[in-house]
């Protein structure tokens, strides 16, 4: 396979890696630069189906509120792979609550990337 073709196949993974780096910096602006205007984010809470946020404005508000409530939030990638427009990331999310108690959950995100931007992020958690 040619390097150019391989580059296209790996592009979604590169975008998701950059998104995760911005997440770990709590850089909402950096995260949103990697998401399309019409992006969809499906959160894990509340169980069993989560909440769907549609459009950049709604997704921005979610992440701003999220980091206010979880300033120690960190995602460790356990595995990531993708092909073309799709990327799957298995992760561990660590946090610390207001009392200093640490916690974590593990889960999976399914991303769709079009034109170099995340247009869909569907999150699932072990629970």
Domains and CATH numbers, the chain: 3-125 (3.10.450.50)
Provide mean pLDDT across the span 23-32: 98
Edge-to-edge, what's the strand order for the sheet holding 35-42? 52-54, 35-42, 117-125, 102-114, 86-96, 74-83
The residue ranking higher by pLDDT, 4 or 62, is 62
Model's pTM, two decimal places? 0.91
| Three-state SS annotation for 5-26 | HHHHHHHHHHHHHHHHHHHHCC
Proportion of the chain above pLDDT 90, given as a percent: 83
Task: Assign 4 to helix, strand or coil.
Answer: helix
pLDDT single digits (tens) 88-97: 999 999 999 8
């Amino acid at each position: 396979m040619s390097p150019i073709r391989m580059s296209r196949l790996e592009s979604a993974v590169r975008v998701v890696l950059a998104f995760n780096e911005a997440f770990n910096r709590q850089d909402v602006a950096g995260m949103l630069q990697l998401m399309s205007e019409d992006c969809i984010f499906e959160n894990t809470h509340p169980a069993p189906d989560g909440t769907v946020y549609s459009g950049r404005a709604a997704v921005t508000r979610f992440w701003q509120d999220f980091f206010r409530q979880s300033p120690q939030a960190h995602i460790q990638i356990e595995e990531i792979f993708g092909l073309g427009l799709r990327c799957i990331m298995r992760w561990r999310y660590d946090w610390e609550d207001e009392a200093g108690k640490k916690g974590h959950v593990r889960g999976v995100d399914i991303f769709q990337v079009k034109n170099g931007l995340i247009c869909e992020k569907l999150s699932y958690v072990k629970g």
